[in-house]
């Protein structure tokens, strides 16, 4: 089970986020899932990470930033967004991550801007306007973006920046050790916020414990393993295309489990948004061709 299985688990993670929104504080479930994930990963990762501590200590500021972007900010914003938006909207906005990553790569990594990125970016933007405006593109400019959709967009941008920085810095730490250390930093970030959560909103009971177990075991540990295996077997570019299936899995699950209604703006706005993402991933023609180098001549050499 490679990248396709990973997307299925991600879709169910949004369902859990919606169920958790009315049962437990977003800060509390983020904290608890990190504690559980660290315990499970520590069983097989703590000892190798300790042996590799010299390398880890040399790169700890970068790993600390990774932990903030991927675990603390992304997860906390996702749970907060689930309070005021639908699981389907969350999935469509998360599916923008490959496009956001490509655009950030142009700025940070100096990757060439392609025709697919430019045209796909415009198409996805129009699709999002239609989606978050619930069929009225101008309503976004008149009334602003919905709080939950805005938070989910910020969460996606955080994770996209995380992915680009992984390529930019190329920290020489094995994937599991890196994820383990990032989670430690994320837990440290979440601790002071967790301590401020009212006890009633952080209660562990028969309703919240299954959600935490799923978030900690499947979303945090198994999802990471499946993604690493998918990248290893298929390559990062092919794996990223599977993220386009995320809204489909989520919409079907939300319809069955949460009784969320699918409207025409979900179908049309989501389809246009995802078509733009797919165009950005597949059309690799450079938007601007570089000027050819001037031919070398003896006269030029004397200058």
pLDDT of residue 2: 41
pLDDT of residue 31: 93
pLDDT of residue 10: 58
Tell me the backbone φ, ψ of residue 97, rounded to 5 degrees: -55, -45
Confidence check: pLDDT of 256 > 90: no
126 in Cβ contact with 301 (< 8 Å): no
Segment 53-70, tens digit of pLDDT: 999 999 999 999 999 998
Residues above pLDDT 90, as percent of the chain: 24
CA-to-CA distance for 197 and 181, rounded, in angstroms?
A: 25
CA-to-CA distance for 120 and 123, rounded, in angstroms?
A: 5
CA-to-CA distance for 177 and 180, rounded, in angstroms?
A: 5
293 found inside a domain: no
pLDDT of residue 22: 75
Residue of higher predicted confidence among 264 and 49:
49
Confidence check: pLDDT of 195 > 90: yes
Confidence check: pLDDT of 185 > 90: yes
pLDDT of residue 270: 85
Q: Alpha helix locations (H) across the chain?
A: 3-21, 26-51, 53-58, 60-67, 74-81, 87-94, 97-108, 115-132, 139-143, 147-169, 175-194, 208-213, 223-234, 236-241, 246-253, 264-282, 298-302
Tokens coding 279: 């165009």
CA-to-CA distance for 98 and 8, rounded, in angstroms?
A: 17
CA-to-CA distance for 187 and 167, rounded, in angstroms?
A: 24
CA-to-CA distance for 16 and 82, rounded, in angstroms?
A: 9
Confidence check: pLDDT of 43 > 60: yes
Domain count, the chain: 1
Tokens coding 258: 């949460």
Tokens coding 83: 């309070």
pLDDT of residue 265: 84
Is the Cα torsion angle 101, 283, 171, 48 positive or negative in sign? positive
202 found inside a domain: no
138 found inside a domain: yes
295 found inside a domain: no
What is the pLDDT averaged over residues 117-123? 89
Residue of higher predicted confidence among 81 and 226:
81
216 found inside a domain: yes
Label residue 181 by pLDDT band (50, 70, 90): very high
Lowest mean pLDDT among 124-128, 144-148, 181-185, 269-273: 144-148
Label residue 290 by pLDDT band (50, 70, 90): low
Mean pLDDT, all residues of the chain: 82
pLDDT of residue 60: 96
Confidence check: pLDDT of 295 > 80: no
Gyration radius (Cα) of the chain, Å: 21
CA-to-CA distance for 160 and 70, rounded, in angstroms?
A: 9
Structural domain range at position 153: 3-196+210-285
pLDDT of residue 244: 65
294 found inside a domain: no
Residue of higher predicted confidence among 135 and 288:
135
pLDDT of residue 65: 95
3-state secondary structure of 126: helix
14 found inside a domain: yes
62 in Cβ contact with 150 (< 8 Å): no
232 found inside a domain: yes
Residues above pLDDT 70, as percent of the chain: 83
pLDDT of residue 62: 95
Angle of helix 97-108 versus helix 264-282 axis, rounded to 10: 40
Confidence check: pLDDT of 4 > 80: no
Tokens coding 124: 């996805």
Confidence check: pLDDT of 21 > 60: yes
Confidence check: pLDDT of 7 > 50: no
Q: What residue has token string 């490959």?
A: 98
pLDDT of residue 135: 84
What is the pLDDT averaged over residues 282-303? 62
What is the pLDDT averaged over residues 38-48? 94
């Amino acid at each position: 089970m490679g990248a396709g299985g990973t997307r299925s688990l991600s879709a169910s993670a949004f369902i859990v986020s919606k169920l958790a929104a009315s049962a437990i504080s977003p800060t509390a479930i983020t904290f608890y899932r990190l504690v559980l994930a660290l315990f499970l990963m520590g069983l097989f990762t703590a000892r190798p990470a300790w042996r590799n501590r010299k390398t880890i200590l040399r790169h700890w500021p970068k790993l600390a930033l990774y932990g903030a972007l991927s675990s603390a900010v992304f997860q906390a914003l996702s749970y907060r967004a689930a309070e005021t938006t639908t699981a389907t909207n969350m999935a469509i906005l998360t599916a923008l991550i490959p496009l956001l990553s490509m655009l950030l790569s142009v700025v940070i990594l100096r990757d060439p801007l392609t025709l697919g990125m430019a045209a796909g970016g415009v198409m996805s933007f129009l699709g999002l306007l239609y989606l978050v405006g619930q069929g009225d593109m101008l309503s976004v400019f008149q009334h602003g973006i919905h709080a939950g959709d805005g938070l989910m967009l910020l969460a996606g941008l955080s994770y996209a920046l995380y992915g680009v920085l992984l390529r930019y810095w190329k920290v020489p730490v094995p994937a599991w050790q890196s994820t383990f250390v990032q989670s430690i930093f994320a837990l440290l970030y979440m601790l002071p916020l967790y301590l401020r959560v009212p006890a009633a909103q952080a209660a562990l009971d028969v309703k919240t414990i299954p959600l935490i177990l799923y978030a900690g075991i499947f979303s945090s540990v198994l999802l990471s393993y499946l993604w690493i295996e998918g990248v290893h077997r298929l390559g990062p570019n092919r794996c990223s295309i599977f993220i386009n299936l995320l809204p489909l899995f989520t919409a079907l699950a939300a319809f069955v489990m949460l009784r969320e209604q699918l409207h025409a703006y979900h179908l049309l706005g989501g389809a246009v948004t995802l078509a733009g993402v797919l165009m950005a991933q597949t059309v690799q023609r450079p938007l601007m061709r570089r000027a050819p180098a001037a031919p070398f001549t003896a006269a030029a050499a004397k200058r």
